[in-house]
Amino acid sequence: EACFRIMKTDFLARPVYVQREDRIKAHFLICFISLLIYRLLEKKMEKKYSVVIAGGGSTFTPGICLLLLDHMDRFPIRKIKFYDNFAERQETIAKACEIYLKENAPEVEFAYTTDPEEAFTDVDFVMCHIRVGLYAMREKDEKIPMKYNVVGQETCGPGGIAYGMRSIGGVIEILDYMEKYSPNAWMLNYSNPAAIVAEATRRLRPDSKILNICDMPIDLEEKMANMVGLKSRKEMSVGYYGLNHFGWWHKIEDKDGNDLMPEIKKHMAANGFADALSGTNQHVEQSWIETFAKAKDVYALDPETIPNTYLKYYLYPDYVVEHTNPEHTRANEVMEHREKNIFTACRKIIEKGTAVDGGFEPDAHAEYIVDLACAIAKNTKEKMLLIVPNEGAVENFDRTAMVEIPCIVGSSGYERICQGSIPQFQKGLMEQQVSVEKLVVDAWITGSYQKLWQAITLSKTVPSARVAKLILDDLIEANKDFWPELK
């Protein structure tokens, strides 16, 4: 009304008397409307991202898809695509996600495909979580070493080596598709075994825009935050060094610089990480709870640092073998629970034609992937643990090793945070393990039986070269559709 009165005054160029309050009101109104238009334009012009999830048929895909939708305010998305080389498996997951997206974020374009050109054209981020050989091969990775009383684990020991020999080719292929069809995109890789995959991409694609990351330290940091009464790990500042699934925290402080290690150490000495089970729907089954409890014994070996849970496979292999049922390993548990539940939920959503009450939940544990994408997209300079070439960040360790250390992440990639020199105990273990990882990559590149035999022999989980050879020969037979031919 005030505006109108002023406009009328001006347009008719008649000297109508306008009250002072009217003018003030009019100015406020104009300011408010301008601000609103500015905000709307800003929102409209804000860059929105196109994401492809490689390994679209993964059990983690629905959770990650929902998580992306939950974080659109900080990481806006215009398109989500799924890519997989197994059409049928992906289709079940994709059709259910498509229904969910239509109901919850119809503005986001969605597609799924097995065609690399369609998948990787016009993307800003590739989120890569493939499992070459599926759970059927994970089961063999776990059961073959167990035949010889050796740890059978997805990413550690001979099982991890076998998985690495399958994953390298798959991840390199996806990286090449990305570089061919969207050369400016970034690949965020969490396909396992991340240590071997990272070493392979360092060697074979040194200039690629790939960042390798793992969720285990994140989950453990949440537990430690919980131990000291903090709401989130983001309220802590940490020092950490190691290889993937093979590392230690050497410093944990709150934001005011108070040392939190003494309190965390008390919990570790009493119950490992089992004191602070909390949070997300990942790592909740009994076998994981035992792993969190066993961290007490891993911690006892070096009470100055807090260990990653995966070290139990290297430091207590005899215990692990004794406590593993060789007929029913973690792969069986996952097939019977996570895989079955996810696929059943998807089929139900497809059948009903709606995802309302469909049992889909955002994968809260995977928020780190959004943090990482955001750090690159928005230059947030967030401190995150990444698997990167050492280059002196761990001073007294191989410069060419792929180490897991804190980095600052921004739009041009990462900057390492130097972790200083590490103690003899950790250095010795890491030198042995990094040699295993490097020998696996050598074996894959050159097709060398000898190098792979050396890699398995060198693994701390394996008692002798004789046992290593027996396991290797079984693994070659089981992996003949996946590994390069070894001579």
* Residues annotated as part of the active site: 215, 310
350 binds ligand G6P (CB under 6 A): no
Nearer to ligand G6P, 27 or 323 (CB): 323
User: Of the listed pieces 61-69, 99-107, 209-217, 344-352, which binds ligand G6P according to CB under 6 A?
Assistant: 209-217
Q: How far is the CB of 162 from ligand NAD (least distance, A)?
A: 13
Q: How far is the CB of 207 from ligand G6P (least distance, A)?
A: 26
Nearer to ligand NAD, 129 or 451 (CB): 129
Kindly tell me which of 26 and 133 has the beta carbon lying closer to ligand NAD. 133
Determine if 402 is a binding residue for ligand G6P (CB under 6 A).
no
| 3-class secondary structure, 174 | helix
Q: Which does 223 bind (CB under 5 to 8 A by kind): ligand NAD, ligand G6P, Mn ion, none?
A: none
261 binds ligand G6P per the rule CB under 6 A: no
Residues in the chain: 487
User: Which one of 91, 98, 141, 215 is in contact with ligand NAD (CB under 6 A)?
Assistant: 215
For β-strands 402-410 and 382-389, DSSP reports them as: antiparallel
Q: List helix spans (H) across 254-354.
A: 261-271, 286-301, 312-315, 317-322, 330-334, 340-352
Can you tell me whether residue 98 is helix, strand or coil?
helix
Spatial CB neighbours of 477, under 8 Å, sequence gap ≥ 6? none
Residues touching ligand NAD: how many (CB under 6 A)? 25
User: At residue 341, what is the residue type?
Assistant: N
- The partner residues of 408 in beta bridges, in order of sequence, read 383, 415
Question: Could you say which of 71, 131, 294, 451 contacts ligand NAD (CB under 6 A)?
Answer: 131
Q: Which is nearer to ligand G6P, 116 or 307 (CB)?
A: 307
Footprint on this chain of Mn ion (rule: CB under 5 A): 214, 216
Nearer to Mn ion among residue 119 and residue 238 (C-beta): 238
Question: In whole angstroms, what is the distance from residue 310 CA to residue 312 CA?
Answer: 5
* Burial state string for 238-274 with b = 16 or more CB within 10 A and e = fewer than 16: bbbbbbbbbbbbbbbeeeeeeebbeebbebbeebbbb
Rule CB under 6 A: choose which of 132, 376, 394, 403 binds ligand NAD. Answer: 132
Based on CB atoms, which residue is closest to Mn ion, 309 or 459? 309
String of contacts with ligand G6P for each residue 187-206, x by CB under 6 A: -----x--------------
Here's the x/- map for ligand NAD, 312-351, by CB under 6 A: it reads as ----------------------------------------
Candidates 330, 416, 438, 451; binder of ligand G6P (CB under 6 A) is 330
Least gap, CB of 258 to ligand NAD (angstroms): 29
108 binds ligand NAD (CB under 6 A): no
Q: CA 330 to CA 231: how far, in whole Å?
A: 31
CB contact at 8 A, 414 and 406:
no
| Min separation Cβ 27 and ligand NAD, Å | 55
CA distance 345 to 87: 18
- Select from 157, 383, 131, 99 the least CA-distant residue to 251: 383
- Tell me: cis bond preceding 193? Omega within 30 of 0 counts: yes
- Give the position of tokens 């991340």: 194
To ligand NAD, the closest distance from the beta carbon of 364 in angstroms equals 13
Of 27-35, 213-221, 259-267, 452-460, the window that binds ligand G6P (rule: CB under 6 A) is 213-221
Q: Name the helix (H) or strand (E) containing 79.
A: strand 77-83
Q: Where are any strands of DSSP class E within 313-456?
A: 382-389, 402-410, 413-416
On the CB side of 242, how many CA atoms lie within 13 Å of its CA? 25
Single out the residue of 345, 413, 420, 377 nearest to residue 100, CA to CA.
Answer: 345
116 touches which of ligand G6P, Mn ion, ligand NAD, none (CB within 5 to 8 A by kind)?
A: none
Place of tokens 């180490």: 403
In this complex, which beta carbon is closest to ligand NAD, that of residue 228 or of residue 346? Answer: 346
CA-wise closest residue to 390 among 438, 340, 459, 351: 438
Nearest to 154 by CA among 284, 299, 288: 288
Binder of residue 330, out of ligand NAD, ligand G6P, Mn ion, none (CB less than 5 to 8 A by kind): ligand G6P
Any idea of the CA torsion for 195, 129, 184, 50, to the nearest 10 degrees?
-150
- Check: CB of residue 147 under 8 Å from CB of residue 326: yes
Nearer to ligand G6P, 214 or 441 (CB): 214
Under the binding rule (CB under 6 A), the answer on residue 236 touching ligand G6P is: no
| CB 196 within 8 Å of CB 164 | yes
Positive or negative torsion for Cα 118, 120, 122, 123:
positive
Q: Check residue 86 for interaction with ligand NAD (CB under 6 A).
A: yes
> Min. distance of Cβ 313 from ligand NAD in angstroms?
15
Structure tokens at 91: 């289709």
Closer CB to ligand NAD, residue 26 or residue 128? Answer: 128
135 binds ligand NAD (CB under 6 A): yes
The only residue of 75, 190, 273, 444 in contact with ligand NAD, by rule CB under 6 A: 190
d(CA 486, CA 308): 33
Binding region for ligand G6P (CB under 6 A): 192, 214-216, 330, 334
Q: Which residues here bind ligand NAD, judged by CB under 6 A?
A: 54-55, 57-60, 84-86, 89-90, 129-132, 134-135, 170, 173, 190-192, 194, 214-215
